């Protein structure tokens, strides 16, 4: 009996809703657009990869030098002794350590045997599992658990590839490349993260694809980053699924050109357990996709379902909780583009603010909310708006394109390292370091260059050897500190440079 009444109410609401819908459409025909035809959006990035031979690797050719780390040994010890350009193969086992990589071309590749992985376990005592700042860094096939900070964090390393890793219960971010350019994050399974499972911070030219992210506060967050494609991910059971943000107070001031396409964004209703004060702690639990102050975000081809607050929320800094001010950042989400998406059963238990907005928009007794937009969002567009229960998009134009098919990705070909000729290296090292103590014909902390030239003119190697292990030669000068941190070639280059200086 009770059930019937509820059903009856639902039907009434539906009829009412339909009435309102029909009422509106009498003013304007429904514009139905097929995304299998029509123009393609070509993004805001000229270097976008558009051909069939799309870039799938950015870290360059794999090094040939391979070292193997076995259970009970240290990955860091291997990194430390590895020359630039080494694959570190990590055998199954448990490793309790923080691995830091401050050199280029290092690949840490887990070996999986009989279902057993190389597990980095921080035991809730260690801070981060992997910190890298080198370029061309690759991490694959690892399992990372129980760290307090991050699973894998990059600081300014470019051309990185992070794939096929399992990361669980590992602190604030699972995978967090920061200040990097040209990177791939794909086929990772990331869960139980107190902020974003995958967080792209202040980085450019990024592909985040085929990841499974769940049970975290935020699934995938693109923050103060440019030219990012987030596609084919399964993003479920987080508090918020996909995020494109501008966070104020960072040195990179905008988020531009983000494509969220072909993702499953499902049931992101997890209780928000973000740290007090963190930006993500303000995400209403039940948000599928959240765009805050980011520009040129394209939302296309996603299945967005069962997110209880809303399928998509578009907002600005002024309406976001807990957000500080940054006079150098544009607070609005400009030029959002919502293309064809499948939206089912979103906004069924939404927040008071969204209900109030719906009411103000004339949506009485609405049961679902697919899209909520608050705050200015100039230049935005949408196709097939009739499919969505939407608040605040009536002033969106109809998009002039229906798909992003011609944009394969935003990755760049691997950039070969800049070649520095010995002469240039010698000059810069001389000016940047040696000139603090030596001038051509006067006394500073060390003897004049003229005096050094008189001793070593025909013997640059002798001078190069001397600066590595100086001995006290002159009573009236302090002993020179060893310059052994310069490699032998650089020492020879700077010796040669010093011997030909003429003023």
Partner 1 sequence: MLAMALMTAVAAARSTGPASGEFILSSTCPPGFEKTGADVCELRTLYQFYPVKRGLGGTRTALPAHRDGFTPHQIDLGRYLFFDPVLSGDGTLSCASCHEPERGLSDGRARSIGIHGADAGRAAPTLWNVAFLKRFFWDARADSLETQAAGPLYSPREMGNTPAKLLASLNGNATYRRLFKEAFSSDSGAITERQVDTALAAFETSLVSLNSRYDRYVHGYDAALSGREIEGLNVFRSFVARCSECHTPPLFTNEQIAVIGMPEPAGQAFDVGAEATMGSPKLKGGFKVPTLRNIARTAPYSHSGAFTDLRSAVEFYNKGRGNAVPKGMHLYLHWHISDPKLTDAEVDRIVDFLGALTDETFLPQRPAQVPSGMTLPKRGEPN
The tokens for 383 are 């196709």
**In angstroms, rounded to a whole number, what is the distance separating the alpha carbons of residues 228 and 204?**
7
- Residue 478 within binding range of partner 1, rule CB under 8 A: no
Minimum distance, C-beta of residue 260 to partner 1, in the bound complex (Å) = 23
- Residue 277 within binding range of partner 1, rule CB under 8 A: yes
Inter-helix orientation angle 422-432/488-499, to 10°: 80
- Residue 421 within binding range of partner 1, rule CB under 8 A: no
**Looking only at residues 316 through 335 of this chain, which bind partner 1 when binding is defined by CB under 8 A?**
322, 324-325, 327
- Residue 251 within binding range of partner 1, rule CB under 8 A: yes
**In angstroms, rounded to a whole number, what is the distance separating the alpha carbons of residues 440 and 453?**
10
Residue span binding partner 1 (CB under 8 A) among the ranges 331-339, 383-391, 392-400, 417-425: 417-425
Minimum distance, C-beta of residue 8 to partner 1, in the bound complex (Å) = 48
| Binding residue count for partner 1, defined by CB under 8 A | 64
* Count of C-beta atoms within a 10 Å radius of residue 170: 30
Residue span binding partner 1 (CB under 8 A) among the ranges 127-135, 263-271, 301-309, 355-363: 127-135
Residue span binding partner 1 (CB under 8 A) among the ranges 260-268, 330-338, 368-376, 435-443: 435-443
- Residue 439 within binding range of partner 1, rule CB under 8 A: yes
Sequence-distant (≥ 6) Cβ neighbours of residue 44 within 8 angstroms: 227, 256, 257, 296
Distance of CA 474 to the CA centre of its chain: 55
Query: CA nearest 300: which of 273, 331, 265?
Result: 265
* Count of C-beta atoms within a 10 Å radius of residue 313: 31
For partner 1, the binding residue among 48, 59, 75, 104 (CB under 8 A) is 104
Q: Are 354 and 311 in contact (CB under 8 A)?
A: no
The tokens for 141 are 């096939």
Q: Are 212 and 187 in contact (CB under 8 A)?
A: no
Minimum distance, C-beta of residue 333 to partner 1, in the bound complex (Å) = 19
Strand partners, 116: 113
Residue with Cβ nearer partner 1 (294 or 339):
294
- Residue 149 within binding range of partner 1, rule CB under 8 A: yes
Helices (H) and strands (E) in the chain, counts: 7, 34
What dihedral do alpha carbons 220, 225, 230, 236 form, nearest 10°? 10
- Residue 432 within binding range of partner 1, rule CB under 8 A: yes
Residue with Cβ nearer partner 1 (157 or 286):
157
Q: Are 430 and 499 in contact (CB under 8 A)?
A: no
Minimum distance, C-beta of residue 487 to partner 1, in the bound complex (Å) = 7
- Residue 67 within binding range of partner 1, rule CB under 8 A: no
Residue with Cβ nearer partner 1 (128 or 370):
128
- Tell me which residues touch partner 1 (CB under 8 A): 80, 98, 100, 102-104, 127-128, 131, 133-135, 148-150, 153-158, 171-173, 176, 178-179, 181, 202, 247, 249-252, 275-279, 322, 324-325, 327, 415, 418, 420, 425, 427-429, 431-433, 435-437, 439-440, 444, 484-487, 503
């Amino acid at each position: 009996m009770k059930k019937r009444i509820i059903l009856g109410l639902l039907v009434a609401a539906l009829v009412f809703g339909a009435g309102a819908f029909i009422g509106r459409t009498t003013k304007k025909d429904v514009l139905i657009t097929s995304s299998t035809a029509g123009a393609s959006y070509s993004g805001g990035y000229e270097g976008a990869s558009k051909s069939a031979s799309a870039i799938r690797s950015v870290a360059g050719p794999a090094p040939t030098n391979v070292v193997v780390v076995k259970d009970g040994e240290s990955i860091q010890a291997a990194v430390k002794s590895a020359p630039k350009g080494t694959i570190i193969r990590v055998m199954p086992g448990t490793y309790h350590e923080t691995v830091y990589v401050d050199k280029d071309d290092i690949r840490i590749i887990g070996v999986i045997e009989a279902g057993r992985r190389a597990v980095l376990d921080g035991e809730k005592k260690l801070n981060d599992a992997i910190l890298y700042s080198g370029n061309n860094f690759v991490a694959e096939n690892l399992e990372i658990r129980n760290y307090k900070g991050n699973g894998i964090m990059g600081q300014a390393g470019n051309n990185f590839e992070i794939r096929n890793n399992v990361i669980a219960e590992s602190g604030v971010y699972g995978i967090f490349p920061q200040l990097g350019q040209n990177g791939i994050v794909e086929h990772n399974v990331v869960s139980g993260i107190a902020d974003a499972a995958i967080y792209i911070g202040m980085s450019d030219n990024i592909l985040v694809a085929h990841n499974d992210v769940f049970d975290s506060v935020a699934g995938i967050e693109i923050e103060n980053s440019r030219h990012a494609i987030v596609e084919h991910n399964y993003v479920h059971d987080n508090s918020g699924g996909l995020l494109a943000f501008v966070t104020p107070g960072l040195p990179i001031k905008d988020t531009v050109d983000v494509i969220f396409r072909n993702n499953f964004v499902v049931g992101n209703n997890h209780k928000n357990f973000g740290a007090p004060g963190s930006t993500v702690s303000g995400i209403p639990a039940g948000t599928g996709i959240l765009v805050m102050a980011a520009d040129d975000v394209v939302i296309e081809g996603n299945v967005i379902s069962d997110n209880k607050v809303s399928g998509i929320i578009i907002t600005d800094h002024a309406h976001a909780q807990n957000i500080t001010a940054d006079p150098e950042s544009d607070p609005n989400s400009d030029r959002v583009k919502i293309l064809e998406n499948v939206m089912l059963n979103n906004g069924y238990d939404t927040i008071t603010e969204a209900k109030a907005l719906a009411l103000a928009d004339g949506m009485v007794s609405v049961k679902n909310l697919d899209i909520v937009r608050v705050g200015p969002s100039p230049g935005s567009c949408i196709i097939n708006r009739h499919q969505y229960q939407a608040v605040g998009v009536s002033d969106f134009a109809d998009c002039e394109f229906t798909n992003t098919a011609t944009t394969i990705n935003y990755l760049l070909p691997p950039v070969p390292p800049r070649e520095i000729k010995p002469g240039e290296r010698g000059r810069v090292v001389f000016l940047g370091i040696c000139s603090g103590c030596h001038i051509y014909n006067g006394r500073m902390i060390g003897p004049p260059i003229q005096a050094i030239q008189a001793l070593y003119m025909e013997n640059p190697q002798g001078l190069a050897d001397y600066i590595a292990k100086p001995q006290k030669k002159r009573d009236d000068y302090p002993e020179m500190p060893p310059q052994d941190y310069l490699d032998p070639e650089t020492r020879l280059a700077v010796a040669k440079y010093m011997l030909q200086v003429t003023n």
